[in-house]
Amino acid sequence: MSEQEFKRAFGYANTALDLLHRGRIPPYPQFYELLYTYATGANPQLNARINAIFQSGATPDHDLATKLYDEFLKAHDAHERLNSVSERMSHRIEAVHDAIDAALGNANSFSATLQSVTDGISDAISPEALREMAWQLLAETQRMQDTNHKLEQKLEAARDDLSALQRDLDEARKESMLDPLTKIFNRKCFDEGLTKAMAEAATYGEPLSLVMIDIDQFKQFNDTYGHQTGDQVLRLVAMTLKSNIKGKDLAARYGGEEFAAILPSTDYAAALHVAENVRKALQAKELLKRSTNEKLGRITASFGVASYRSGDTPSSLLERADRCLYAAKHSGRNCVVGEIGLAAPEHAEKRDPQEAA
């Protein structure tokens, strides 16, 4: 973990503990998780609910914290959907196995009947006995055909069901990797994507760059215009970032008002160009308050750019990009700072975890 990441996480922890103390909420793990999540701003719906409570003059207490935890953290829709799909798929597979077992049983019975008829045939057999064997064989054959037809129907239905379940499973997996507010990839997907991209860069010797983005003065903007407008800003930044990358590039919400872009097969100079394009595109957009069409001005962001080096870990690459980002914030904001030529890490150490973006 980088120094900046540590300081930021420690700031979130202090905020969570302060809220627990103010509400006289016991510091059980689930309540700490609830208020730590609130401090990071990673769950906009949770933040909107708690902010409304604060605005009413109330403070979350033990009972309310329990309800909020059950609603926002205990149950995750995407995970529940995955579990539901897995359970349905398991039941369908069991039904197919049962149908196949029944068909095998009937096949064995048919084979036994054939063997019995074969053993009963002799030169001295009477026409009546031969006719009886023929009728028996015909009946068994008809029963086998009926069984096979039913099996075909069950397998056809199972195939259709499994195809639908597979689609549901793919959709649920995709949803579990998306940030619910901005609809771009979430932190979990970012972490997995960065690890994968770095492994491929090391294996194939391809360039790889990372861009970290922080919305300027976001907390001040959020406090001034409200959280719904703040959410609109987050969606605007996400849309702008996503529309200015392509191919195997991955845009993600890193947390709160921070975003990131993983740029495989992109060298340092090209990554600086991408970041500058996103910065200009974002600055060119004028924000309107939807309810009144009031012009709220323009949103800007600061950018940090670093590129993969042999021997890098995800933490080391993130730390360099983070230092560049904080250098951009301390250089006046609304600019792109790359790691080449960056003087020293003092910029990052001046950054307070709870500093307004």
Out of 152, 156, 257, 319, the active site residue is 257
CB atoms within 10 A of CB 52: 11
Q: Scan for tokens 């507010």, then name that residue.
A: 181
What CA dihedral angle connects 157, 162, 164 and 169, to 10 degrees? 160
175 is catalytic: no
Q: Scan for tokens 């015909």, then name that residue.
A: 138
Show the DSSP H helices in 43-186 as ranges.
Answer: 44-55, 62-69, 77-120, 127-176
- Give CA–CA dist 203/334, Å, rounded: 35
- Give CA–CA dist 5/175, Å, rounded: 27
Stated as kind and residue range, the H or E segment containing 253 is strand 250-255
Stated as kind and residue range, the H or E segment containing 301 is strand 301-307
- Give CA–CA dist 222/9, Å, rounded: 21
Stated as kind and residue range, the H or E segment containing 234 is helix 227-243
Give, as one character, the DSSP assignment of residue 184. S
CB atoms within 10 A of CB 84: 14
Paired with 337 in beta bridges are 304
Strands 301-307 and 250-255: unpaired
Question: Quick one: which of 64, 22, 12 has its CA closest to 42?
Answer: 12
- Give CA–CA dist 198/209, Å, rounded: 9
- Residues catalogued as catalytic: 257
